[in-house]
Amino acid sequence: MSPRTQGYFFIAITMCIWGGFTIFSRLNTQWQISAWDITALRFGLAFLILMPVLLYKKDTAFLWQKHSVILALIGGVGYCLTAYTAFLYAPAAHAAIFLNGCIPLTTAVAAWILFKQPFDKHTWISLSIMLTALGLMSFLISQSSSHAFGKGDVLLFISAIWWGLFTVLLKQWRLSAWHSMASVAIWSAIIYLPIYLFFIPKHLTEPEPIHLLIQTVFHGIFVVIIATLTYVAAIERLGAFKTGSIVTLAPFIAALLAVPLLGEPLSPAIVCGLVGMGIGALQPWRWLRQDSLTQQLQQQKDQ
């Protein structure tokens, strides 16, 4: 396969895993798996896989940097606990809106607060679209008898804040994909597992063993390890913007799949929010402009 084809292949894998994260996290509710338990299982399995590899490669020096610990606290323990808890209360469509849809916004705000990076015009356009969509969605909800917002939505937005901070710090500190992934997995396990084992109530006997196995393998291997590697591989072949734009579609597709798979309804208000937040997060005008410039350069080269 050509590098371009390989890039789209890796994007497809990443999208399947990221979309599956939403579906599988919602299944935790039906399968009676608590957020505390799945977080422990996720990082426990990742630790057992990655630590022997690091020891074999004699590549552990990066773990002793403070950056590794901070990234694990924010993008590992903090993000997972709030996100998994949120999925117990909020449907997949709400996650696409308040988590994945808000990540570009929280990332831009975090970069401005921490490192004084100003908003560019694309961020302002996205912000305007998102606020309009949220306002219209809130208006439609107020006209109906349903109360669509709750603590799950608040936790989803907090998760978006965690991930925005994580993204900005990761970019600023310039850790490689392998080191950042290993840092989050290893230190999250070291920090969280002792607290979980000694102080947190466990409910591992309530779910079916096969359900625990499925969730552990998916979150510990596919989400933590495979999706990170395929995402980076796609960026290397297609560029960061195009890769990020395409994979951002995954949670929105998952929200649609949750209707037949999980029986979650989609109201007009939520559809409005999905469309607005999706456009704001994807920034399709940049993608179209980038493709147009690429075609112009190719035409000039052919001439």
Helix (H) or strand (E) holding 249: helix 249-262
Least confident of 135-139, 156-160, 177-181: 135-139
More confident of the two residues 291 and 182: 182
Residue 234 has pLDDT above 90, yes or no: no
pLDDT bin (cut points 50, 70, 90) of residue 296 is low
pLDDT for position 146: 58
CA–CA dist 223, 16 (Å, integer): 10
Higher pLDDT, 264 or 65: 65
Query: Which pLDDT band, with edges at 50, 70 and 90, does 196 fall under?
Result: very high
Residue 206: what are its φ and ψ, rounded to 5°? -80, -45
Given a cut of 80, is residue 195 above it in pLDDT? yes
The answer, yes or no, to whether residue 152 has pLDDT greater than 60, is yes
Domain ranges across the chain: 1-33+207-266
Q: What is the pTM of this model?
A: 0.83
The yes-or-no verdict on residue 141 having pLDDT over 80 is no
Q: Alpha helices of 2-34 — where are they, by DSSP H? A: 3-30
CA dist 138 and 123 (Å) reads 22
Q: What is the mean pLDDT of residues 214-234?
A: 89
pLDDT band at 133 (very low <50, low <70, confident <90, very high): confident
221 contact partners, CB below 8 Å, separation of at least 6: 45, 46, 49
Mean pLDDT in residue range 265-270? 78
Question: The tokens of 269 are what?
Answer: 């208000």
Q: What is the mean pLDDT of residues 45-70?
A: 93
Q: What is the pLDDT of residue 297?
A: 47
Stretch 30-56: mean pLDDT: 94
Name the average pLDDT for the chain.
84
What span, in angstroms and rounded, lies between the C-alpha atoms of 286 and 121?
11
Highest mean pLDDT: which range of 108-112, 170-174, 198-202:
198-202
Pull the structure tokens for residue 292. Answer: 């147009």
Burial 63-102 (b: 16+ CB within 10 A, else e): beeebbbbbbbbbbbbbbbbbbbbbbebbbbbbbbbbbbb
CA–CA distance from 70 to each of 35, 149, 190 (Å)? 21, 31, 13
Residue 221, pLDDT above cutoff 80: yes
pLDDT at 199: 92
